[in-house]
Amino acid sequence: MFRFFSLQELFVGGTDSSVQTTQWTMAEIINKPDVLERLREEIDSIVGKSRLIQETDISKLPYLQAVVKEGLRLHPPFPLLTRKFQETCDVKGFHIPEKTTLVINAYAVMRNPDSWEDPNEFKPERFLISSRSRQDDEREQAALKYIPFGGGRRGCPGSSLASVSVGTAVGVMVQCFDWRIKGGKVNMEEIFEGLSLTMVHPLKCTAVPRTMPFL
């Protein structure tokens, strides 16, 4: 079955969530200089220092992909997903009448200690384990453990575009600038506003350009 989306749906849904994700991921990176260092090494070795990173590089940068995935795991811009039951049914002994609204707490699912080791820690390496395969990703998605883009037929149609655009934005910022923040650490306090999870104190930092031949 086809679904049509208006441009407004695509812009409203896609722009703010990508901005929020970029901001949270950069905040995590600034708080973890070892992650920034490792990311920069990967980018410098694959992309080099003579040009800017671009969208087509993302597939060759596994650590950058893992950083974006981990940013989305800890800070899903849409922490609550909803579904409506089209018919009455029984699930694990619970009777659910038709038209009941189901609210899925994706935030809690992705910090569940039964599924994730050190669930509140920003550890991109967890998505890098060498034995991981595409099937692992698919299994996690099917088991509904990793759901920043929701799932099923109403899952986010912009997930690939979002991963590449956030990856490129984060990649450029890491490649070209050193980051300084007053007080040394970003305040990660979060607030649930409207339908999305945002920073109480939006990220304010100083970007010092690195010496790059093309800048």
Would you count residue 154 as binding ligand HEM (CB under 6 A)?
A: yes
**At CB < 8 A and 24+ separation, what contacts does 111-117 make?**
111/73, 111/74, 112/145, 115/145, 116/73, 116/145
Selected from 31, 52, 157, 176, the binder of ligand HEM by CB under 6 A is 157
Token pair belonging to 17: 């969530």
| Burial of 196 (C-beta count, 10 Å sphere; 0-12/13-18/19+) | middle
How many residues are present in the chain? 215
156 is in an annotated binding site: yes
What does the block give as tokens for 201? 């104190």
User: Among 78, 39, 72, which Cα is nearest to 57's?
Assistant: 39
Q: Is 17 in the site for ligand HEM (CB under 6 A)?
A: yes
162 touches ligand HEM (CB under 6 A): yes
- Closest to ligand HEM by CB, 7 vs 95, is 7
Distance CA 27, CA 31 (A): 6
**Is residue 151 close enough to count as binding ligand HEM by CB under 6 A?**
yes
Closest CA to 208 of 36, 76, 54: 36
Q: Considering the rule CB under 6 A, would residue 12 count as an interface residue with ligand HEM?
A: no
We find the least distance from the C-beta atom of residue 45 to ligand HEM, in angstroms, to be 26
Restricted to residues 129-148, the positions that interact with ligand HEM (CB under 6 A) are 148
Of residues 74, 87, 2, the one with CA closest to residue 35: 74
Residue 166 makes contact with ligand HEM by CB under 6 A: yes
Query: Is residue 155 a contact residue for ligand HEM (CB under 6 A)?
Result: yes
In 100-141 the beta strands, taken as DSSP E runs, fall at: 101-105
Amino acid at site 192: F
Residues 173-212 touching ligand HEM, rule: CB under 6 A, are none
2-10, 32-40, 49-57, 133-141 -> range binding ligand HEM (CB under 6 A): 2-10
Task: State the binding string over 20-59 for ligand HEM (x if CB under 6 A, else -).
Answer: -x--------------------------------------
CB 65 within 8 A of CB 166: no
Binding-site annotation, residues? 156
In the complex, the residues that contact ligand HEM under the rule CB under 6 A are 3, 5, 9-10, 13-14, 17-18, 21, 72, 77-78, 81, 148-151, 154-158, 161-162, 166
Binding-site annotation, residues for heme? 156
